[in-house]
Amino acid sequence: MDHDGKAVSERGPAADVTPRVSVVLPVYNGAKSLAATIDSILTQTERDLELIVVDDGSTDATAAILRGYTDPRMRVIRQENGGITCALIRGCQAARASLIARQDCGDVSHPDRFELLLPLLDTCVLAASEVAYFAPEGEAMYTTSHASKNIRDGLLHGGIDTIQSLPHHGSAVFRANAYARAGGYRAQFYFAQDLDLWMRLAALGDVCISRDVLYEARIDIRTISSVHRPEQVASTALAIAIRDGGDPYLIEEVAAIRPQKRAQSRLTDVRALYFIAACLRQKNDLRWLRYGWRAVKVLLLGRGAA
């Protein structure tokens, strides 16, 4: 059973030797891009790892794809759908290594990601690399520049308008003992579960950001123009208030924040398409015109952005 008492099944070999790093990959209906993500982990130059894939109740071909892998370093956990936080908690509970790394389905890690990143945890409790972001059809949009910023200070003291998180949730690695001391991912957070954890880890030690671009994140229209931004902002504000010693009952307010059903607005789609177009235009990529034209069609003709 998982932490909520839901049925869980697990496939994977018994551990003979503790791996150097446990990679936690939650997936829900990610069949379209799952293989590329898994392959980017199993082909790492750092071979001493285990990959824990938590299938969070997928209803597409995810399970079939997972059955096709026979690498003994890969473990598969299947559970009823409970959301990403539930899957992350389950995956981290199953981790056997002293270091835990994150990976999101749809994104890919560069082959030397762990070889270059794990040594940072000799002096830090939490680390990440710079991230390259790509548009829906693989166009390079922009690369983060977090290494030049004081991320730890922002996590410890930043407000709702100034706090700076890691370049990407999936790019993170952290010490397993620090994760346990911090209390791990908190099930009450459906949104902002990563920021909530990073703030508590930052209180335990340094946060390091590698200048190397070792992680590639794929985004889509719905990612940018999320209909759940109000819930994300509210969860972030409560996480900051809890960090700053707010009323302990605030955690109950967080638990009450769950996705609300609302229609995807035409304007948010237009903004998302415009953002992609602007990023590509800045890179002199003429494919920005395609996204710009899609934005016009959505705005004037009401056609869907997807």
Residue 126 belongs to what H/E stretch?
strand 126-134
Read off the pLDDT of residues 111-148 as tens digits, 9 standing for 90 and up: 999 999 999 999 999 999 999 999 999 999 999 999 99
Mean pLDDT, residues 36-60 taken together: 98
Residue 1 has pLDDT above 80, yes or no: no
Read off the pLDDT of residues 174-210 as tens digits, 9 standing for 90 and up: 999 999 999 999 999 999 999 999 999 999 999 999 9
Here the tokens at position 82 are 């409970």
Closest residue by Cα to residue 31 from 57, 77, 67, 62: 62
Residue 13 has pLDDT above 60, yes or no: no
Here the tokens at position 239 are 């996480």
pLDDT interval class at 12 (50, 70, 90): low
Among the residue ranges 23-27, 210-214, 292-296, the one predicted with the least confidence is 292-296
Question: What pLDDT does 51 receive?
Answer: 98
Among the residue ranges 54-68, 189-203, 217-231, the one predicted with the least confidence is 217-231
Residue 223 has pLDDT above 80, yes or no: no
CA distances from 2 to 5, 6, 91 (A): 5, 5, 10
Residue 163 has pLDDT above 50, yes or no: yes
Here the tokens at position 117 are 């990143």
How do beta strands 173-175 and 126-134 pair? Answer: antiparallel
pLDDT interval class at 3 (50, 70, 90): very low
CA distances from 150 to 142, 143, 161, 178, 304 (A): 20, 18, 15, 20, 40
Read off the pLDDT of residues 70-107 as tens digits, 9 standing for 90 and up: 999 999 999 999 999 999 999 999 999 999 999 999 99
Read off the pLDDT of residues 233-276 as tens digits, 9 standing for 90 and up: 999 999 999 999 989 899 999 999 998 876 667 888 898 999 99
Domains and CATH numbers, the chain: 1-106 (3.90.550.10), 109-168+185-262 (no CATH), 266-301 (no CATH)
β-pair partners for 208:
127
| Cα first-last separation, the chain | 37
Here the tokens at position 141 are 């949009």
Question: What pLDDT does 293 receive?
Answer: 94
Instruction: Enter the pTM of the model.
Output: 0.92
Residue 108 has pLDDT above 80, yes or no: yes
Please tell me the distance from the alpha carbon of residue 75 to that of residue 24, in angstroms, as a whole number: 10
Question: What pLDDT does 4 receive?
Answer: 47
Please tell me the distance from the alpha carbon of residue 173 to that of residue 88, in angstroms, as a whole number: 13
Question: What pLDDT does 2 receive?
Answer: 46
pLDDT interval class at 17 (50, 70, 90): confident
3-state SS, residue 215: strand
